[in-house]
Copies of this chain bind each other. A is one copy, B any other.
Amino acid sequence: MSAKAAQKKERQEKILEAAIKAFSINGYHNSTVATIAREAGIADGTMYLYFKGKEELLISAFTFIMDNFLEKLEVKLAEAKNPLEKLKCIVTYHLTELSKDPDRAKFLQLELRQPAESVRRGIAKPLSLYMRKIDSLVEEGKESGMVRKDLPTKVIRRVIFGAVDETISSWIRRKDAAPIGSEAEAVFEVLLGGMAAR
B-binding residues in A (CB < 8 A): 24-27, 29-30, 84, 106, 109-110, 112-116, 120, 124, 138, 141, 145-152, 154-156, 158-167, 169-170, 173, 183, 186-187, 189-197
By Cβ-Cβ distance, the 7 closest A-B pairs, closest first, are A162-B166, A27-B115, A194-B194, A162-B162, A29-B29, A193-B194, A159-B163
B196 touches A84 (CB 8 A): yes
Q: How far is the CA of A193 from the CA of B110 in the complex (A)?
A: 31
B113 touches A109 (CB 8 A): yes
Inside 8 A of A195's CB, which chain B residues have their CB?
A: 138, 141, 147-148, 151, 156, 159-160, 191-192
- Closest partner residue, chain B, to A193 (CB atom): B194
List the number of copies, as a whole number.
4
B197 touches A145 (CB 8 A): yes
Q: How far is the CA of A26 from the CA of B116 in the complex (A)?
A: 6
A187 touches B113 (CB 8 A): no
B115 touches A30 (CB 8 A): yes
Which one, B115, B146, B166, contacts A25 given CB within 8 A?
B115
A158 touches B167 (CB 8 A): yes
Inside 8 A of A120's CB, which chain B residues have their CB?
A: 173
From A26, A84, A162, residue with most partner B Cβ within 10 Å: A162
Shortest beta-carbon distance, A175 to chain B, in Å? 10
A110 touches B106 (CB 8 A): no
Q: How far is the CA of A147 from the CA of B196 in the complex (A)?
A: 5
